[in-house]
Chains A and B, each alone.
Chain A
Amino acid sequence: MSADPAAPAAQVPDAAGHFGRFGGRFVPEALVAALDELDAAYRKAMTDETFRAEFDGLLRGYAGIPSLLYPATRLSARAGARILLKREDLNHTGAHKVRNVLGQALLTKRMGKARVIAETGAGQHGVATATAAALFDLECVVYMGEVDTQRQALNVARMRMLGATVVPVTTGSRTLKDAMNEAMRDWVANVDTTHYLIGTAAGPHPFPEMVRDFVRGIGEEARQQCLDLTGALPDAVAACVGGGSNALGIFHAFVPDSGVRLYGFEAGGEGVATGRHAASITGGSSGVLHGTRTYVLQDSDGQTIESHSISAGLDYPGVGPEHAWLHDQGRATYLPVDDDEAMAAFELLCRTEGIIPAIESSHALAGALKIAPQLAAELGREPVIIVNLSGRGDKDVHTAGQYFGILDRETA
Chain B
Amino acid sequence: MSRIGVAFDKARADGRAVLVGCMPAGFPTVDGSIAAMKTMVEAGVDVIEVEIPYSDPVMDGPVIQRASDLALAGGVRTADTLRIVEAVAATGAQVAIMTYWNPIEQYGVDTFARDLAAAGGTGLITPDLIPEEAGAWLAASDAYGLDRTFLVSPSSTDARLRMTAEHCRGFVYATALMGVTGARSQTSEAAPILVSRLREVTDLPVGVGLGVGTGAQAGTVAGYADGVIVGSALIRCLLDAPDQATGLAALRALSAELAEGVRNPVR
Contacts and interface: CB of A to CB of B under 8 A. Distances in A.
A161 interface: no
A288 B101 CA distance: 7
B264 to A, nearest CB: 30
Contact of A29 (B105, B151, B179): B151
B133 A33 contact: no
Interface stretch (B38-46, B56-64, B139-147): B56-64
A157 B129 CA distance: 38
B106 A302 contact: yes
Interface string A289-314: 11100001010111110000000000
B105 A191 contact: no
Interface string B113-153: 00000000000000111101100000000000000001111
B49 interface: no
A405 to B, nearest CB: 36
Given A24-B133, A25-B132, A289 B102 contact: yes
A26 B180 CA distance: 16
Nearest to A187: B58
A191 B128 contact: no
A188 interface: yes
A307 B175 CA distance: 33
Given A184-B58, A301-B77, A30 B105 contact: no
B134 to A, nearest CB: 10
Contacts of A287: 102, 105-106
B115 to A, nearest CB: 14
A185 B133 contact: no
Contact of A191 (B54, B157, B178, B180): B178
Contact of B54 (A16, A24, A29, A303): A303
B185 interface: no
Contacts of A172: 55-56, 69
B246 interface: no
B107 A288 contact: no
B102 A298 contact: yes
A26 B129 contact: yes
B78 interface: yes
Contacts of B153: 28-30, 32-33
Given A26-B133, A32-B155, A172-B69, 11 more contacts: A26-B101, A27-B128, A30-B178, A185-B59, A188-B179, A192-B155, A288-B101, A288-B102, A289-B102, A301-B77, A302-B54
Contacts, number: 114
A298 B106 contact: yes
A301 B58 CA distance: 18
A181 interface: yes
A275 to B, nearest CB: 16
Interface in A15-41: 16, 24-34
Interface of A is mostly: mixed
A29 B154 CA distance: 9
A171 interface: yes
B96 interface: no
Nearest to B80: A301
A54 B157 CA distance: 32
A24 B160 CA distance: 17
A392 interface: no
A289 B56 CA distance: 8
24 contacts: A24-B133, A25-B132, A26-B128, A27-B128, A29-B150, A29-B152, A29-B175, A32-B156, A33-B153, A178-B56, A185-B179, A189-B179, A191-B155, A192-B155, A287-B105, A287-B106, A288-B105, A288-B128, A290-B58, A298-B106, A301-B78, A303-B54, A303-B55, A303-B103
Contacts of B61: 185
A200 to B, nearest CB: 16
A216 interface: no
Interface of A: 16, 24-34, 171-172, 177-178, 181, 184-185, 188-192, 287-291, 296, 298, 300-304
A377 B57 CA distance: 49
A28 B152 CA distance: 9
B156 A29 contact: yes
B232 interface: no
A25 B130 contact: yes
B128 A301 contact: no
Contacts of B56: 172, 177-178, 181, 289-290, 304
A287 B267 CA distance: 45
Nearest to B65: A171
A304 B103 CA distance: 10
B50 to A, nearest CB: 15
A370 to B, nearest CB: 32
A176 B107 CA distance: 26
B258 interface: no
Contact of A188 (B59, B69, B103, B129): B59
Interface centre among B61, B77, B78, B128 (most CB of A within 10 A): B128
A177 B58 CA distance: 11
B164 interface: yes
Contacts of A296: 102
Nearest to A37: B155
A291 B160 CA distance: 19
Given A30-B155, A185-B61, A189-B179, A302 B107 contact: yes
A189 B59 CA distance: 10
B164 A29 contact: yes
> Which 8 residue pairs spanning A and B have beta carbons closest together?
A302-B106, A30-B153, A189-B179, A302-B102, A302-B103, A33-B155, A184-B58, A304-B55
